[in-house]
Structure 1
């Protein structure tokens, strides 16, 4: 039976970078964000979000993510209302994919990138968790460069997330993607460890 490991981390720590290394090594990596996008555009889910947040949430049959993002960014109550609509069908799809992977006799290891893995309590559905971490200076610099935002805005985005130190404590494995660290080597070593324990 294939084992499935969840990959998470903080904003701009390099989750996708690690996922791409795994893909280049020949492993399948699923993306929970893509699953969320698909779920958000399902007619029944989109109808509930539009009813809750107004007609501007529906952009010609697609969820208007920038509109919703602005609404929920500084409003925890509205964010919770959005999550109450969208998280149950996302979880249902994630669990369906995990079951399909586990029943696939041709695979031994698979991965899924889940940004809010610990926040949403997804860790219990995986065979193990991997946190991609980075020091604060590296994380801040990458976020500013990537999103072309001010340092203050970048700091506020980081502050809204579960701290990296807490995620590292919860994780089964940690990959340090700070400036100057050899991430490729860490991923190869991790794969060796995971395969040894199959």
Structure 2
């Protein structure tokens, strides 16, 4: 797909902020996280049974409880991924094909792009980069996690430096939001040219 750009990073590096900026500039985007959440909630009863979870008053899964479960139990994490990932890929691929036919650049936000072989060769990869210590600080602040909890989540993903080596493009997010925004706009405009 010549119009697809896969946006990835480690947790709390700025993927979602990049997508928001691209959308403001008039570009279409897809989010694996949004699709994942829809699939999760559409299968809430089945997943609650599979993982012995209680649903909330609205019949939904509490994502914080699920996150604690999967970041503390490798088997549970694998079981959930085996259930979710094929469904996410199928829906994402269908939506990508629709956007590709429009003949305009679009962005696909996939947190685990570099960890999965499924999306390789489907488009170019864009890494939103912040060093591990900075993403650790941001994650603790954003999600109210202690250092140990935040580190578990960061270390559950491929090391950011390894991702940096694999990426087609790297956008730095190491300073202020305004600096990051300028880096994003500059990069997106360079694609249009």
Task: Give the aligned partner of residue 5 of structure 1.
Answer: 5
182-191 or 4-13, larger mean C-alpha shift: 182-191
Does the aligned pair in 1 maintain the 2:31–2:108 contact within 8 Å?
A: yes
Q: Which runs of 5+ in 1 are unaligned?
A: none
Shift of 1:55: 5.2
Shift of 1:114: 1.1
Task: Give the aligned partner of residue 53 of structure 1.
Answer: 51
Per-residue CA distance 1:37-95 (angstroms, 9 max, x = gap): 111122xx445423421252576442332332222211111110111111111111000
CA distance in 2, matches of 1:21, 1:53: 37
- Residues 67, 139 of structure 1: CA spacing in aligned structure 2 closer, same or farther, 3 A cutoff? closer
Mapped pair 1:190 → 2:183: no
Per-residue CA distance 1:3-43 (angstroms, 9 max, x = gap): 1111110111111111121122111122211100111122x
SS of 1:161's partner is coil
55-64 or 172-181, larger mean C-alpha shift: 55-64
Task: Give the aligned partner of residue 173 of structure 1.
Answer: 169
Q: Which runs of 5+ in 2 are unaligned?
A: none
SS of 2:102's partner is coil
SS of 1:6's partner is strand
Alignment of structure 1 residues 126-145 onto 2, 5 Å: 126-145=122-141
Per-residue CA distance 1:90-135 (angstroms, 9 max, x = gap): 1110001111111124xx1110111111223343263111010112
Aligned residues: 192
Does the aligned pair in 2 maintain the 1:2–1:103 contact within 8 Å?
A: no
